[in-house]
């Protein structure tokens, strides 16, 4: 009798834990992946930046510059039927060089004007930036964290080459989720037109990022919650957290990659860029920036950032 009693108790506990796990998996999917307002990030200490950085990000002259530019609006239908929006800006003097930029989590295409102003005004390059699926004016009821987006960027690249010619040269530049996006893109079969990748503050994989944040924000273990959340993501967004891996993609990359990461980044830890760098198949370099939190390197150390960027491009491409 006692054995049957304990068996019933055990089964009951298992069912309760299973229900908790299922409920939690849908909760975490809605929290991080579903397209909705993300209040949970407000007040997150890991995303705090200096007052100087905040002033640049919110009120910097680059925002005025963006508003004054006559971007051409592009529309593309993704391979799974979403209408996506992109924005293209030509320089005053014709150039065959195009910087394709990818924004971060919860951002939009024009956030990359922080970098676009430099590329356009100082270097005279064409710039292209897009609203990722689930962001801005693009369709999508989920956030792809770079995985499906990598295929979108392949299509944007093809569209650019088709419009501007086979001699078009392209570099990819992404920040945070956008950095993971361009790294995931790097592992695909790219046209020779793509000459280099710049990845600022990337994560190794969506699973690794969620596991890190699960512990840091909720003090919870990744198992069993992340495997079940991954199943929900596969059902509802078409990808699992494990397969959305920049780390696996850079192991296949043929294009040179420059990694940049803040040494004080506690939202996406610096060691993720270090691990990516160590596992990159192609030529790669890594620059870390002191006293820079997540996505801050360009603002905190702009001169160092630009000097490294130009040295890298001079080393591995003919871009000047």
CB of 85 closer than 8 Å to CB of 74: yes
CB of 226 closer than 8 Å to CB of 27: no
The rounded average pLDDT for each run of 10 residues, N- to C-terminus, in the chain (320 residues) is: 60 60 84 84 63 73 95 97 98 96 96 97 97 97 97 98 97 98 98 98 97 91 91 96 98 98 96 98 98 94 97 94
Q: Rounded to whole angstroms, how far apart are CA atoms 192 and 169? A: 8
CATH topology of domain 48-205+244-316: Rossmann fold (3.40.50)
CB of 197 closer than 8 Å to CB of 258: yes
Looking at residue 50, its pLDDT comes to 64
Looking at residue 8, its pLDDT comes to 61
- Measured in degrees and rounded to the nearest 5, phi and psi for residue 291 equal 60, 25
Strand intervals (E) in 144-249: 169-175, 194-200
CA neighbours within 13 Å on the CB side: how many for 144? 30
Give the residue among 68, 67, 69, 103 at the shortest CA–CA distance from 85: 103
Q: Rounded to whole angstroms, how far apart are CA atoms 275 and 114? A: 27
- CATH 3.40.50.1820: which residues of the chain? 48-205+244-316
pTM: 0.93
DSSP letters along 49-77, please? --HHHHHHHHH-HHHHHHHHS-PEEEEEE
Looking at residue 66, its pLDDT comes to 96
């Amino acid at each position: 009798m006692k054995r049957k009693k304990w068996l019933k108790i055990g089964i009951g506990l298992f069912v309760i834990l299973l229900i908790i796990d299922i409920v939690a998996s849908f909760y975490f999917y809605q929290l991080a992946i579903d397209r909705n307002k993300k209040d949970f990030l407000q007040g997150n200490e890991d995303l705090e930046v200096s007052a100087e950085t905040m002033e640049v990000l919110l009120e910097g002259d680059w925002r005025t510059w963006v508003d004054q530019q006559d971007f051409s609006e592009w529309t593309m239908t993704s391979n799974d039927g979403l209408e996506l929006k992109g924005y293209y800006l030509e320089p005053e003097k014709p150039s065959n060089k195009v910087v394709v930029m990818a924004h971060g989590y919860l951002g939009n295409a024009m956030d990359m004007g922080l970098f676009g102003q430099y590329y356009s005004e100082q270097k005279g390059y064409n710039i292209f930036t897009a609203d990722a699926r689930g962001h801005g004016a693009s369709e999508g009821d989920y956030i792809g964290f770079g995985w499906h987006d990598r295929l979108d960027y392949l299509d944007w690249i093809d569209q650019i080459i088709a419009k501007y010619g086979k001699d078009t040269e392209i570099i990819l530049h992404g920040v945070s989720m956008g950095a993971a996006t361009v790294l995931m893109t790097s592992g695909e079969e790219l046209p020779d037109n793509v000459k280099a990748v710049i990845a600022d503050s990337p994560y190794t994989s969506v699973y690794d990022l969620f596991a890190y944040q699960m512990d840091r924000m909720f003090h919870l273990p990744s198992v069993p919650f992340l495997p079940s959340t991954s199943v929900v993501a596969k059902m509802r967004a078409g990808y699992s957290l494990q397969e959305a891996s920049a780390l696996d993609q850079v192991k296949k990359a043929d294009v040179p990659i420059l990694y940049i990461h803040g040494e004080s980044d506690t939202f996406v830890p610096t060691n993720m860029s270090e691990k990516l760098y160590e596992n990159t198949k192609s030529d790669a370099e890594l620059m870390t920036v002191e006293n820079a939190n997540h996505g801050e390197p360009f603002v905190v150390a702009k001169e160092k950032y630009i000097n490294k960027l130009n040295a890298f491009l001079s080393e591995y491409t003919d871009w000047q």
